[in-house]
Amino acid sequence: MKFFLCVIGMVMILEGLPYFVIPEKMKIWVQKIFEMSDSALRRFGFVLMIIGLFMIYLGKR
């Protein structure tokens, strides 16, 4: 459970970093996300999940 909490904490740090460092650009990027179609967002999310799984695989090797 400690490891899980550490991982979630690191993800939150990485997710929050762009909003802290470049908030004006993040507003533009979030606006672009609202303009994307649902299928494009699904493909993007799927690709991110595959990359994440691959990174986990490499880390566990």
Q: Helical H runs in 1-61?
A: 2-21, 23-35, 38-60
pTM over 0.85: no
What pLDDT shows up at residue 60?
A: 87
What pLDDT shows up at residue 1?
A: 84
What pLDDT shows up at residue 61?
A: 85
User: What is the rounded CA–CA span in Å between residue 1 and residue 45?
Assistant: 26
3-state DSSP call for residue 36? Answer: coil
pLDDT along the chain (61 residues), means of 10: 91 96 96 95 96 91 85
